[in-house]
Amino acid sequence: MTNKMWGGRFQAGPDAIMEEINASIGFDRRLFLQDIAGSTAHVAMLAEQGIISKADANRIRRGLAAVQAEIEAGKFTFSRALEDIHLNVESRLKELIGPAAGRLHTARSRNDQVAVDFRLYVRDAIDHLDGQLKDLQRALAAKAQAHAATIMPGFTHLQVAQPVTFGHHCLAYVEMLARDRSRLVDARRRMNQSPLGAAALAGTSFPIDRHATARALGFDGPTRNSLDSVADRDFVLETLAAAAICATHLSRLAEEIVIWSTSQFGFVKLSDKFTTGSSIMPQKRNPDAAELVRAKPGRILGALTALLVVMKGLPLTYSKDMQEDKEPAFDAFDNLSLAIAATTGMVKDLTPNVETMRQAAAGGFSTATDLADWLVRTLKMPFRDAHHVTGSLVALAEKKGCGLPELSLAELRTVEKRITRDVYKVLTVEASVASRRSFGGTAPANVRREAKRWLKLLEA
């Protein structure tokens, strides 16, 4: 049987396996809102330009609204034989309004139609993700404000390095997420041009107004080259790249939550809302939400890689290969959205174990740098010499099995005779964090000020 939508050239229907590989309605049906919005803008322009009658345009608009209502109500029957969302909508439109439906496709192609649909979808996805990331930033900034003076160990190489505050640590992720949002916003700005009207690849001989359809769909303007308009998938690639970086940031925080919630660290506790148990070990409380967030970058980076591989060798303009752009992108954006939501929930839910973190911060000779800085400031010692003296004192304390504050003044003077009792003032973790007042530093006053600034920005 001939396919009624494009079958004039064909005398027989496709083989069953051809239909199986060719159909995309199983996944592109989720573009129905964008497809109907693009069609509505297109038909209004056709009528305004006198390309079709206003009466036909009104019938088409009403019919499209009816199709949308059916899909939203779950009453629409999707057909694999009609391949994709575009032909499914158009076929149902013809059933509803008759021959006038055939005028809808005047001066456009499925090539520019899918290009505009997908841009609208990705644009909507960016707006949704941006709102979610803003909520996560707000949760982190609120946690930072509440724990501006809560001391924890700062790590390098996962070894105790210097004392920091938990609030400062939370604000580090606020900064990462700000960059993620800026990348998404930048991708949105660059992609916000309408390919509608590029038709199959060469433009059209009809007197269309591409600026009008671009305005109607919220684009900044139309794309300027018809070949690039239908061949371009940069907008998806760029958004997926931003999504992969964002997912990596979420994964780093998730990994820290996994580590912090172990009995070995005991820095934070998650409630039953974000943990699971074991089928055999009744004592277990597993941070499964964090572990799943930690895994999500694999899927999202995979989507980016898959689409890069699809696009890398395609000649201009459209090839059916590009149908493979949607499923990975849909999956990536869905999973990033879920990961953000789960991370926001965990941040709000977790309770820091304040004393445990403070004790851990005091271990590992974490105030050694403070001692070296004191030697430089007070004894005017070159930093490299101060570093050597401090290293010798750390070795002494390690040999005695104590911390730097537990060394007697006499023991300190065996390495540097000019050390005075004032040195003990800088060897506490409280003094250490309080002294880090440089711009961007971990001092509680800094953290309170920065958390307040971020919360104000995020409310704007």
Q: Among all residues, which ones are annotated catalytic? A: 157, 278
Instruction: Give the chain's end-to-end CA distance (angstroms, integer).
Output: 59
196-to-90, 109, 186, 219, 226 alpha-carbon distances in Å:
17, 9, 22, 11, 9
Q: Which two tokens stand for residue 170?
A: 């939370």
- Note whether 369 and 160 are within 8 A (CB): no
Pairing of strands 159-165, 268-269: unpaired
Going by C-alpha positions, the residue among 454, 460, 406 that lies closest to residue 173 is 454
DSSP states along 93-139? HHHHHGGGGGGTTTT--HHHHHHHHHHHHHHHHHHHHHHHHHHHHHH
Nearest to 285 by CA among 303, 269, 309: 269
The Cα–Cα gap between 300 and 332 comes to 5
For the chain, the maximum distance between any two Cα atoms, rounded to a whole number of angstroms, is 101
